[in-house]
Structure formats: C-alpha cells, structure tokens
Amino acid sequence: MPTPTDQPDHPVVTRFAPSPTGDLHVGGARTALFCWAYARGREGAFVLRIEDTDRKRSSAGAAREAMRDLAWLGLDWDQGPDPAGGERGDHGPYFQSERLPIYETHLERLLEADRAYHAFDTAEELDAKRAAARAQKVAYRYDRAGLEVPRAERLARAAAGEPHVIRFRTPDRPVVITDAVLGEATLPAGEVDDFIIRKADGFPTYHFAVVVDDALMGCSWVFRAQEHFNNTAKHLLLQEALGFDHPTYAHFPLIMNPDGSKMSKRDKDKAVRAEVRQRGIEAPPPDSIDPGTFSAWLSDKKAQLDHDDLVRLAAALDVQLPEINVRDFRRSGYLPEVLCNFLALNGWSPGDDLEKFDNAFLARSFELGRVQKTAARFDRDKLLAFNLDAIQAMSPEAFLDRVRAHGERYHPDFLARLGDRQFELLVESSRERSKTLDELFRTNHWLLEDDERLAWPVTKPVRKAMFKGEPTGLSLLAEVRALLEGTEPFESGHLETALGAWAAEHCEGNLGRIAQPLRIAVTGGPVSPPIFDTLEMLGRERVLRRLDRCLESLSATEEAG
Ligand code: GLU
C-alpha cells in the first residue's frame, strides 16, 4: 500500500477533527496540540475540520466553543472554519454537514463499481440478529442479508424512496494497519464486516466522511486517539476502494486519571456527590438548585446533573470540580501555555529530563518516535505546581493583566465591586501564593460580602484570637477602633506605621496580637492577604462597620460563655 508520506518532501498536512457533541476534552486538546506542533515544525499545514454528521448530538455552539478553546491554547489553524466568519483554505466547506454533495459523488462511485450496496434490513431484523449473536456469545457481524436482494431490485427500491442504508462491500482478506506509534497490527479476514457508510438519514457515517475528507483536504498525516485504532482498518479499505492514497497514521495513548479510570464528565458529579454524602446533606443549599432535581440526582449514583446546575451546587458547597474539559481548566485559572506544556508531557517527552517548554519548542522538537504507547496518567498536583511556577516567574504587571482578564470573564461582579487601586492591591498581595488566576477570586469572598451579613462563627482560631490572652483580642479591638477612625490617609503603608506604633504602646510591640483579631473582625475568618492591604481594600467605612458589628456579636458570645 503506498503511503505518500514515505516521500521525504511530501508536504505535511495534519488535521484535528473534533465532533462537536460537547466541550473539548483535554485528550482532544492534546491531539490537536500534537497535530499543530507536527505541522508547525515542518512548514506544514494544520487543518481543522468539524465532524458534525451525528445530527442529534452535534451543535453549532459546541463547534464554536471548541474553536474558542483551541484559540485560547494558541493552536491556530491554516484551513478550517474562520471564527470571524467564512473559512480559511481551499478545501472547504470544513463542516462535514455542509459536504453532503461531495460525499454523494464518492458514494456513487462505490455503488457503480459494486463496492457498496443499498441495504433494506429493518431495525427489528438487525436487533434480532444481534440478540442471537449475544445469546451464542459470538461477536455480531453483519451477515450480508442485503446482498440477497438482486442488484437491480436494490437500485429500484432505493430509487423509489424505500428507507435504506448504504453498506461497504468489505473485501474478504486480512488488513494490515501500520501505525507510526504502535507499529503494525493485522486484522484477520472477516473481522471487518460490511459496515454502513451512509445512514438512513442520508448522512455519511464517520468512517466514510473521514476518508473522503482526509483525501480531499490533502491530510497526509492522521493523528488521533488510540480508541480509533481499529477503525483504521475500515479507513484503509475504503481508501483502496476509492483509489485514495493512505495517510500515515499515528494513534496516541489515552489520558487517564491517576487511578487508571477514564477522565470523564462523571468525575465532576462524583466529586460533588462525595461531599454531599460525607456531610450528610439531604437538601440542596438555598439558592443553588431545584430540590426535586437534587434528590433525583442524589438517589441515582449514575445520574448526571446538567452542567450549570452542577457548577451552582459545587459553588454552594465550596467543592472544587475536577477539570476535564479545556473550558474547565480555563475557568479554574490555568495558563494556556502551562496547560499545553503539561498536556504535551502526557504522552510525549523531549528527553534529557526536560519538562518545561513552550509551544515553539514543542513545534521544533515534536516527533512521533518519542510518543509513548501506554496510557498517560494525569497528575493534577504536578499541573498545579507548573502553574504556580509560571505565575511566580511572571512580572507583577503581567500577572495583574491576566488576572484582570480572567476576572472580567468569570467574575465580573467581583471586579465591579472593587476600585482599581483595591483590585491592584488584592492582586499584588496574592501574587506569590497564587497557584491559579482564579484562586484570589475564590478565596477572597469576604470582600464581596455585605457588611451587614458578615458573621463570626466561633471556630477555634476565632476563640484563640479573640478570647484568650490578657488583655483579650476583643478588648484590644475595642481600643484600636479610635486609631482606625483617625488614621489619614487610610492606606496600607500609612496604616502599617500607625498600627506598629500603636502595638508598641498597647501590646509590647507584638503586632500579631492586634493583627489577627482585626483580620477576623473585618473578614469573618483567620485567612486574608496582609492585614494592612486587607484594611485598605475594604476602606475605612466598611472596616469600622464590620468592627462594630464584630465587637457587638462576639462580646455577646463572650458574656454568654
Ligand atoms: N470526529 C472524531 C472524534 O472526535 C475524529 C476521529 C479522527 O480523528 O479520525 O473522535
């Protein structure tokens, strides 16, 4: 079988061909990344094709999101739909649903050559045969019942509009698959049955469309996940029947959870369900999701909540959802360049223990010989550590810009509540500890909290900071109020000087004695950015309001016991 890519100067054209049936999975993103890198490193072209022939499951919205995700990752394509409108490249359309006349032409060729045939089996007939195979514990293969109908009759019935599919007439011989990562495998004769190439709805099946498109779009290299490996036999046979060259195939290992399970959407439901069970929660928190939906979901271990509901419920319970799709990583505040770097390491390595690199390096260095054969395990802690390192290596200005852009997209309410100076203080004081761009929005809810609703549950650290020692933190708080009222301007540096002097006088220079009670009073908890920044971010008025309410609330508690 000739492979055009055997010729060294054959142009490299790779393609990524997502089915827009949901969000782009990280595994898909990794395939796209490798396709992109291979083409970019060899002056080739990278094609994006949207495989939307499954009309029930595909959506234009999902295709748009996939393009957005790819663009966010920095993976630009030379041919494919142009998100700004129209398309790039001369081999379009790049949505398969718009290519039906093209598929028809090639189907016609197969029908004429008697390499394909109309089959009129009903769903009931096929179901019965499948059930019989199951009962006999043998693998089901289509028995070519369709071919018992004479050819002229088949053509006449199809022309008369009788519902039918078109099947490929699979030659009865072994098929050898050659894969640039996995090596060679031979499928014995009879393994591939007469599979369907056009469905009853008139749409081609994946196998047919992919073969026609790869050929017409000049895709000389086909990279995809290992789950498609066996499909390759069908594709090779179709290419032969249609007189197309064979591309070079490479199938990449899957990306799994560390425990070897599949990284799937279900993991998110699992994480929330585990928290609900552990806390013995029987009803959804107020303002989260519908109670009926909640109990139906809780009682069925396999049930999955609608994504928005899941996000709402997780937020109400403060559960961090495991990221599965590119969109999840983006929302969680990972940097796209870090995600690309990390994804590349899931299945490939440049050697020499090199782990940190950018997409330009990947494009220069990526080769199929170093792609691993076995599944990769997705190590979230390592990803988080990579992200932290990248954030720490950033300039304060770059971090500010990126956090602001992240906030504008995911936390507009947060930004709307803070002035520029407050926001800059928050970002700068959180920079060194931030593992993601999202973290500071998640951990600083105290800033958004309504002053009148802030509460001080008496947890262990609160008890220690407020009620212990002589004088107690609470009494120091009452005393420091006047200072806060009078300090002008109410700015971090100024507050530091003033409170330092105050501590020297009132608590033997031990600033911690007043800093922690103050922090609890103004944030409701023991953790926040440095106290002077925290105070400035809130502003005098809010600080005093919170202080007064805290004094009132905790004095009552202290008296009570
Ligand atoms: N549409 C297929 C998928 O998303 C693409 C497989 C291929 O690359 O051939 O799995």
Enter the tokens of residue 81: 């739909």
State which CATH number among 1.10.357.10, 1.10.10.350, 3.30.1010.10, 3.40.50.11260 fits the domain covering 460-560: 1.10.10.350
Distance of CA 441 from the midpoint of ligand 1 (Å):
37
Residue from 52, 228, 239 whose mutation best tests the ligand 1 pocket (most atoms within 8 A of CB): 228
Enter the tokens of residue 349: 């390595």
Ligand 1 neighbourhood includes 224 CB (under 6 angstroms): yes
Cβ neighbours of 413 (radius 10 Å): 10
Ligand 1 neighbourhood includes 298 CB (under 6 angstroms): no
Ligand 1 neighbourhood includes 20 CB (under 6 angstroms): no
What pLDDT does residue 1 have? 46
Task: Give the rounded distance of the alpha carbon of 465 from its chain centre.
Answer: 42
What pLDDT does residue 2 have? 46
Cβ neighbours of 331 (radius 10 Å): 18
Secondary structure percentages of the chain, helix, strand, coil, to 5:
50, 10, 40
Ligand 1 neighbourhood includes 81 CB (under 6 angstroms): no
What pLDDT does residue 484 have? 97
Distance of CA 203 from the midpoint of ligand 1 (Å):
16
Task: Give dist(CA 369, CA 180) in Å, integer.
Answer: 8
Distance of CA 206 from the midpoint of ligand 1 (Å):
8
Q: Give me the half-sphere count of Cα atoms (radius 13 Å) on the Cβ side of residue 97.
A: 15
Tell me the one-letter amino acid at 254: L
Q: Which numbered atom of ligand 1 lies nearest the CA of 210?
A: 9
What pLDDT does residue 6 have? 54
Q: Which of 550, 548, 536 is nearest to 498 (CA)?
A: 536
Q: Which numbered atom of ligand 1 lies nearest the CA of 222?
A: 8
Distance of CA 19 from the midpoint of ligand 1 (Å):
7
What pLDDT does residue 469 have? 87
Ligand 1 neighbourhood includes 62 CB (under 6 angstroms): no
Distance of CA 351 from the midpoint of ligand 1 (Å):
29
**Domain limits of the chain?**
99-252, 394-443, 460-560
| In contact, 477 and 521? CB cutoff 8 Å | yes
What pLDDT does residue 287 have? 85
The residue annotated as part of the active site, out of 265, 268, 356, 382, is 265
Ligand 1 neighbourhood includes 51 CB (under 6 angstroms): yes
- Which residue intervals of 203-323 are DSSP H helices? 206-216, 231-242, 266-278, 291-299, 307-317
Regions in the chain scoring below 50 on pLDDT: 1-2, 4
Distance of CA 46 from the midpoint of ligand 1 (Å):
15
**Burial level of 489, CB count in 10 A (0-12/13-18/19+)?**
exposed
Ligand 1 neighbourhood includes 19 CB (under 6 angstroms): yes
Ligand 1 neighbourhood includes 48 CB (under 6 angstroms): no
The torsion angles phi and psi of 255, rounded to 5 degrees, stand at -105, 120
Ligand 1 neighbourhood includes 175 CB (under 6 angstroms): no
Ligand 1 neighbourhood includes 447 CB (under 6 angstroms): no
Residue from 47, 48, 50, 51 whose mutation best tests the ligand 1 pocket (most atoms within 8 A of CB): 51
User: pLDDT > 90: what percent of the chain?
Assistant: 92
Distance of CA 102 from the midpoint of ligand 1 (Å):
19
Distance of CA 224 from the midpoint of ligand 1 (Å):
7
Superfamily covering domain 99-252: HUPs (3.40.50.620)
265 is catalytic: yes
Q: Nearest residue CA, atom 5 of ligand 1?
A: 17
Strand ranges (E), 17-114 = 45-48, 80-81, 87-88
- pTM over 0.85, yes/no: yes
Q: Which numbered atom of ligand 1 lies nearest the CA of 15?
A: 8
| In contact, 30 and 362? CB cutoff 8 Å | no
Ligand 1 neighbourhood includes 210 CB (under 6 angstroms): yes
